[in-house]
Amino acid sequence: MLARMKMSVCHVRLAALAAAAALSPAAVTAQELPRIFDKGGTHARIESCVSHDAIEFSIGQNSALLDAGDRLQVTVAMQQRYPALQADGFAPSHLLLWRRPGADWLFVALLANPDKPSEVCFTATFSAGVFELTPVLLKKYFVSAATRS
């Protein structure tokens, strides 16, 4: 998984991430991620930053963009669990909490797409189940999901 990540795309230091999080609004809306949502706002497609893969999902029931504070907490937890991420400057601009149909919850790390600046792309996915704060986030973003996980 780490071999597939293109970490040179974003070399933002954690302090810069914290500063950005402090300035960001409490919630991230679909409008802040241009051109990944269909016209009806019910479906999204996010391309990989490093391959021809894409994630396609329905918006709402099994997906949510984390707000800036939660994004910072999860990013720090990821860097603590996987120290190579911090060494490479891992700092996603957005994190999506998503449950792939028939699978477990994932965190999807998003960056501005270097080839398409008006879009985002994903750099990596992480199993959300390995992070202690996931149950709290599931309760916050998906009231019913916390009871079935």
pLDDT in tens, 97-123: 999 888 999 999 999 888 887 788 999
Residue with tokens 């609004």: 25
Q: What is the mean pLDDT of residues 30-57?
A: 73
Which pLDDT belongs to residue 38? Answer: 53
The structure's pTM equals: 0.72
Nearest alpha carbon to residue 99 among 134, 74, 133: 134
3-class SS letters over the chain: CHHHCCHHHCCCCHHHHHHHHHHCCCCCCHHHCCCCECCCCCEEEEEECCCCCEEEEECECCEEECCHHHHHHHHHHHHHHCHHHHHCCCCCCEEEEEECCCCCEEEEEEEECCCCCCCEEEEEEEEHHHCCCHHHHHHHHCCCHHHHC
Which pLDDT belongs to residue 9? Answer: 26
Which pLDDT belongs to residue 19? Answer: 34
46-87: pLDDT as tens digits: 899 989 999 888 777 788 889 999 999 999 999 999 999 988
- CA 94-72-63 angle, to 5 degrees, is 45
Instruction: List, in sequence order, every residue forming a beta bridge with 126; answer none if it has no partner.
Output: 107
Domain boundaries, the chain: 2-148
Tokens of residue 20, six digits: 């950005």
89-100: pLDDT as tens digits: 888 999 999 998
Phi and psi at residue 147, in whole multiples of 5°? -80, -20
